[in-house]
Structure 1
Amino acid sequence: MLSRKRIQATSGVWPLILMVALFIMGCSSTGNQNTSNVDANISVIRANNNIQMIVEGDRAYLSGVLGSDLSITLESMIEQHPNVTELVLVDVPGSLDQEATMNSARLIRRLGLNTHISRTGYVLSGGVDLFLGGVKRTIGPGAAVGVHAWRDQNSPSTSSGIKMEGVIDMSDPVHAEYVNFYLSLGVPERFYWFSLNAAPAERIYYLTSEEIYDFHLATD
């Protein structure tokens, strides 16, 4: 069991997320593709931050904060819709249970599902780990991928109750659990150490396209 958790993107970063979402929507091209059904699905599930899933054809659209029952939700969806081959992540700000998220990513891989981040969508923190479960991983135009360090839940607090950032203990066995997780999904170890140093727990670092492909987060 993981002894540490990555802190999910919570209310402190929602204004930043909103600004990024508005920016990437403004920068993305509309084109002439027939995307009316896709856009309708995305609009519906963006209306609620709780976990939402809509299935259309061979795609399942998922959005919201990832919880402890994620694996059960995914298994139930596949049982009811065995034709689904791709999980489309719309807006995933993080997870409440990192261990459950990692197990769900492994489940996605075992099921042979592909993952895709929707056009102008985003995955942050634990949402990135879920995305990595896909056999094939693709990212839509204007989509964002954000990472940050986890915070030691056992670290001392300040007088205001805020957890203090500490020096990362390189010998902490929890690192091996994360590293092995990434390696099992075809992602290099250096991505883990990069994510720890990219931004502190209360902030988000958005990867560039070059970084996304350099770390093998996307396969196409």
Structure 2
Amino acid sequence: MRGAFFGLLAAASAFLIIDLRELSLQTADLPGHDPMTTDAPVLPPALTDGVPNAPPVDPETSPDVLRQPMRFELLPGGVMKAEGSIDLGAADRFAKEIEARGEYVKSVSLNSPGGSVADALAMSKLIRDKGVNTHVAAKALCASSCPLIFAGGVAREAEENAIIGVHQVFNAGEQRPSPERAMSSAQSTTARIARHLEEMGIGNGLWLHALETPPDRLYYLTPEEMKAFKLVTEPVATAKQAARK
């Protein structure tokens, strides 16, 4: 099963490169536009016509706020709010926050359109190493590379109407790389993500949805899919209902 899964990943990576190459050709004449970088993320758009899944609600936070570099705020109850785009260097700032306030942090609440894959992976690993939980609130967004951070939580909770979506992500350090270098980068990034999700205990099929979704679209995960892929451990709503009994 594992061999078949990685075979599917390799095939999906090939289609990812075709998508990226076509996107590069279509935008080559646009000044300042570089579809191969992840250091200036924007709010990802929805899948065309909501197929296969439409977002449950619109994000409560404005796109202008979400486009800002990720900010960290320690809230009551040991909750650290991480809001904004995962810019290059976000993982270093997060590590400093954890070093300074780690003894108080019990959970990281995410509200992000995604961004740097490398920073997302580093933040996710640190969260798991520290035994911290992750959380996405109602009408909060966790898209693109943000679910990689979410996967790091020991307990992972998504409230009703949390917006969690995935699409093709890639991590390149140069502008307009050759098709060969783009393919190498995409395959390497795909392997790192697949290995990380496996280590976090997330179901294999989750990232196939990302690989099949173009980078200008989002595949929105339903509560049933989050549960099936083990992306969530126990919905917040269920925990609240139990507390009222």
| Same fold, judged at TM 0.5 (above) | yes
Partner of 2:202: 187
Partner of 2:51: none
1:80 shift after superposition: 2.7
Stretches of structure 2 lacking an aligned partner (at least 5 in a row): 1-16, 18-35, 48-53, 235-245
Residue 182 to residue 69, structure 1, CA distance change in 2 (3 Å):
same
TM-score normalised by L of structure 1: 0.70
1:195 shift after superposition: 1.8
CA distance in 2 between counterparts of 1:213 and 1:144 reads 14
Are 2:192 and 1:177 aligned? yes
8 Å contact from structure 1 (residues 6, 125) kept in 2: no
**How do residues 134-213 of structure 1 correspond to structure 2 at under 5 angstroms?**
134-150=153-169, 154=177, 172-197=187-212, 199-213=213-227
TM-score normalised by L of structure 2: 0.63
1:79 shift after superposition: 2.8
Partner of 2:133: 114
**How do residues 46-85 of structure 1 correspond to structure 2 at under 5 angstroms?**
46=65, 49-57=68-76, 58-81=78-101, 82-85=103-106
Higher helix share: 2
1:186 shift after superposition: 0.5
8 Å contact from structure 1 (residues 59, 88) kept in 2: yes
Residue 22 to residue 173, structure 1, CA distance change in 2 (3 Å):
closer
| Alignment length (residue pairs) | 184
Identity %: 23
Residue 177 to residue 60, structure 1, CA distance change in 2 (3 Å):
same
CA distance in 1 between counterparts of 2:191 and 2:66 reads 37
For the aligned residue pairs, the C-alpha RMSD in angstroms reads: 3.5
Residue 174 to residue 110, structure 1, CA distance change in 2 (3 Å):
same
Stretches of structure 1 lacking an aligned partner (at least 5 in a row): 26-41, 157-165
Moved over 6 A (4+): none
Partner of 1:88: 109
CA distance in 2 between counterparts of 1:182 and 1:191 reads 9
